[in-house]
């Protein structure tokens, strides 16, 4: 992480009141893809991490049983709560929590995150994906800044002083190692995309036994 959690939280506290006024075409495309792929049904509990002012959580709540949003910025959370109250949605709640400690231990069917995880280092993203896998969601939809090609700070969405995006390959490895399979990869542009991961097992690496040719599970 290029800045501390407190520094990131303070940065978003400062812009919380205007955050919803901005939003590039790519950000909107990414958010729409996250919402489309999450597609909860009326029995699903959704956990949205790095929820910000609630763009994803509030869009999913009308179709889900319950949506829980977590973020490190009190300012962003206050705005999300205000919007939830205005919308009259009663099945959505927001609170403090971070990727590697979401402070939520209920059942989760779908985890979403949009434009937030790129603040973590690659090792921290791995830890976060592993913590999320332990919650046993069936699906994790991650929209974020991620590199499909060579990182290019002169292009939008990547400011090396605050951001730490991963390559799509690093994220794919982290998902696979945590027991997910990628079922969709959506490239919004060279530095923004959406990955859809379905949980296939409780962790470990699948391998093929050299003698029998059968798949073996490499540990739980």
Ligand X SMILES: C[S@@+](CC[C@H](N)C(=O)[O-])C[C@H]1O[C@@H](n2cnc3c(N)ncnc32)[C@H](O)[C@@H]1O
Write down the least CB distance from residue 202 to ligand X, Å. 24
Nearer to ligand X, 78 or 201 (CB): 78
CB of 216 to ligand X, least distance (A): 35
How far apart CA 174 and CA 129 sit, in angstroms, is 7
Map the footprint of ligand X across residues 78-137, applying CB under 6 A.
98-99, 114-116, 119-120
Please name the residue that has the structure tokens 């940065």.
Answer: 11
How, if at all, do strands 215-217 and 92-96 pair?
unpaired
DSSP letters, 124-192, are: HHHHHHHHHHHT--SEEEEEEEEESSS--TTSTT--TTT--PEEHHHHHHHHHHTTEEEEEEEEEETTE
Judged by CB under 6 A, does residue 8 bind ligand X? yes
Residues contacting ligand X: total by CB under 6 A: 22
**Binding of residue 12 to ligand X (CB under 6 A):** yes
Q: Which residue is nearest to ligand X (CB)?
A: 52
Closest approach of ligand X to the CB of residue 171, in Å: 16
CA dist 114 and 195 (Å) reads 11
Considering the complex, state which of residue 99 and residue 180 has its C-beta at the smaller distance from ligand X. Answer: 99
Site for ligand X, rule CB under 6 A: 5, 8-9, 12, 31, 49-52, 55-56, 71-73, 76, 98-99, 114-116, 119-120
């Amino acid at each position: 992480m290029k800045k501390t959690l407190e520094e990131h939280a303070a940065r978003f506290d400062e812009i919380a009141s205007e955050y919803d006024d901005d939003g590039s075409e790519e950000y909107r495309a990414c958010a729409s893809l996250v919402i489309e792929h999450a597609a909860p049904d009326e029995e699903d509990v959704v956990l949205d991490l790095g929820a910000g002012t609630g763009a994803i959580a509030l869009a999913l709540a009308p179709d889900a049983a319950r949506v829980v949003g977590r973020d490190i910025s009190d300012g962003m959370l206050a705005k999300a709560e205000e919007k939830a109250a205005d919308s009259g949605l009663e099945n959505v709640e927001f609170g403090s929590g971070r990727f590697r400690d979401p402070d939520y231990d209920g059942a989760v069917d779908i985890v979403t995150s949009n434009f937030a995880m790129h603040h973590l280092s690659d090792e921290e993203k791995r830890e976060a994906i592993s913590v999320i896998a332990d919650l046993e969601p069936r699906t994790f939809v991650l929209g974020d800044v991620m590199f499909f090609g060579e990182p290019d700070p002169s292009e939008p969405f990547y400011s090396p002083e605050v951001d730490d995006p991963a390559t799509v390959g690093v994220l794919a490895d982290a998902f696979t190692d945590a027991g997910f399979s990628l079922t969709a990869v959506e490239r919004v542009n060279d530095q923004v995309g959406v990955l859809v991961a379905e949980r296939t097992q409780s962790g470990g690496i699948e391998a093929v036994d050299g003698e029998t040719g059968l798949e073996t599970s490499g540990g739980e």
